[in-house]
Amino acid sequence: MNGLLIAMIVALLIPIYGVYQERDIWQKMLSFASISTKTSIMILVISVMRDDWMIGVVGVLILSLGNASLMLLAHILRRLSISEGVVE
Q: Where are the domains of the chain?
A: 2-84
Collapsed DSSP state (helix, strand, coil) of residue 88: coil
Using pLDDT thresholds of 50, 70 and 90, give the confidence band for residue 33. confident
Calculate what percentage of the chain has a pLDDT beyond 70: 91
Mean pLDDT of 30-43: 84
Distance CA 84, CA 88 (A): 12
End-to-end CA distance of the chain: 44
Per-residue pLDDT of 5-17, as tens digits, reads 888 888 888 888 8
* Element of type H or E holding 11: helix 2-21
Per-residue pLDDT of 75-87, as tens digits, reads 777 787 777 665 5
Nearest to 42 by CA among 70, 73, 13: 13
